[in-house]
Amino acid sequence: MSYKKVVFMGTPMFSISILESLARSAYEISCVYTQAPKKSNRGQKLNTSAVHKCAENLKLIIRNPKNLNSEEEFEFIKKINPDIVVVVAYGQLISKQLLKIPKKGFINIHASLLPKWRGAAPIQRSIMNSDSETGISIMQIVENLDAGPIMKQFKVKILDSSTSEDISNNLSQIGSEVIVDILDEIFDEKSEFIDQNHKLATYAKKIKKSEGNIDWNESAKKILAKINGLNPDPGAWFIHKETRYKIWRAKISEKMGMPSKILNNNFIIGCGDKSIEIIEIQKEGKNRLPLKIFLKGANFKQGDELK
């Protein structure tokens, strides 16, 4: 294989193991693009992305423009003249002008089984929808969002206990294991890209914090899917005595009772059908705790109503 130049684009933790895998390979990473630093909640400090920190450790050139599609970035990438651009959860749309630069185009590792769950939050939406499986799709980027032809897909099962963090780590690991072989196939002219069935497309909208508020009138299955899908961020939560509590882990109980009511001293909560048994919980401003430890200092009793 001749020496090939790669530009990498990614932002969250999900992207890191794939970047590290490329850095260990024979491919030259000419530059890493990641989202611009964001202010912390208190506004005192600029926080760089997980990929930014990783690229610094790898001593790679880093670009973090607020607008990827500016003339300045077009000229920069054109000067690099990359053979291919690998995108993994970068977070910006890519213009037609940029898409034409690399000889082998832009390749995206997307965390869903396309055409299902195009968009910003595919893992969360898949779990919240109670899907039985998800995966990654290796696809070519086109102008329309996540609509490009697919080269390969790799599937994983979603268990009742699977959180977004669990699935994200699993899919990221798979991506890191296959990315070099994927590029080898592309450069060896052995790859085949198949158009998606656009009629089957569904969209994974960005998660709003307000979606974390638990509606106890929903089924226990749907509530558990929300708890798992929104773990770790932004989390599924309820209010009790004007204080917010985030549920990290839970399971379904067969016990029946009024929705939103604490049904016994083990903190089992009634739902629209069946109930939810909490395993791990966090009071606002405090550490997350296993339920048994949490209950020692908690002011909850049977019959309390949660909001």
> CATH no. for residue 243?
3.10.25.10
Put the strands of the sheet holding 106-110 in their side by side order.
62-63, 28-33, 5-10, 84-88, 106-110, 133-140, 150-157
CATH number of the domain encompassing residue 170 = 3.40.50.170
For residue 248, the one-letter residue type is W
| Confidence band, pLDDT 50/70/90 cuts, at residue 16 | very high
pTM of the model: 0.94
Mean pLDDT, rounded, for 87-94: 95
Residues 93 and 139 in one domain: yes
Domain residues for the domain of 221 are 209-296
pLDDT at 41: 64
- Say whether both 121 and 155 belong to one domain: yes
- Domain membership of residue 222 (yes or no) is yes
Last residue of a domain, one of 204, 223, 245: 204
Residue 126 — very low, low, confident or very high, per pLDDT cuts 50/70/90? very high
Per the CB < 8 A criterion, the answer to whether 50 and 15 are in contact is yes
Choose one of 157, 185, 204: the last residue of a domain: 204
Query: Is the same domain home to 287 and 256?
Result: yes
Confidence of residue 45 (pLDDT cuts 50, 70, 90): confident
pLDDT value at position 288? Answer: 96
Quick check: is 307 in a domain?
Answer: no
Omega prior to 122 cis, within 30 of 0:
no
CB neighbours of residue 19 within 10 Å: 25
Residue 180 near residue 8 (C-beta atoms within 8 A)? no
pLDDT at residue 42 is higher than 90: no
Q: Is residue 289 part of a domain?
A: yes
Number of domains in the chain: 2
- Give the confidence band of 265 by pLDDT, cuts at 50, 70, 90: confident
Asked if residue 120 is part of any domain, the answer here is: yes
CB 67 within 8 A of CB 73: yes
3-class SS of residue 35 = coil
46 plus 146 within the same structural domain: yes
Domain stops at, among 169, 186, 204: 204
Q: How far apart are CA 21 and CA 36, in angstroms?
A: 23
Q: What is the pLDDT of residue 281?
A: 96
Tracing tokens 């109930």 back to the chain, one arrives at 275
pLDDT 10s digits, 153-192:
999 999 999 999 999 999 999 999 999 999 999 999 999 9
Which of 241, 252, 253, 246 lies closest to 289, judged by CA?
A: 246
pLDDT at 38: 84
The answer to whether position 303 is within a domain reads no
Q: What is the rounded average pLDDT of the residues 250-279?
A: 95
Residue 73: its pLDDT value, please? 97
Q: For residue 305, what are the β-bridge partners?
A: 261
Give the C-alpha separation, 104 to 99, whole Å. Answer: 10
Whether 5 shows a pLDDT value over 90: the answer reads yes
Q: Specify whether 198 is located in the same domain as 277.
A: no
Contacts of 122 (CB under 8 A, 6+ apart): 110, 111, 112, 134, 204
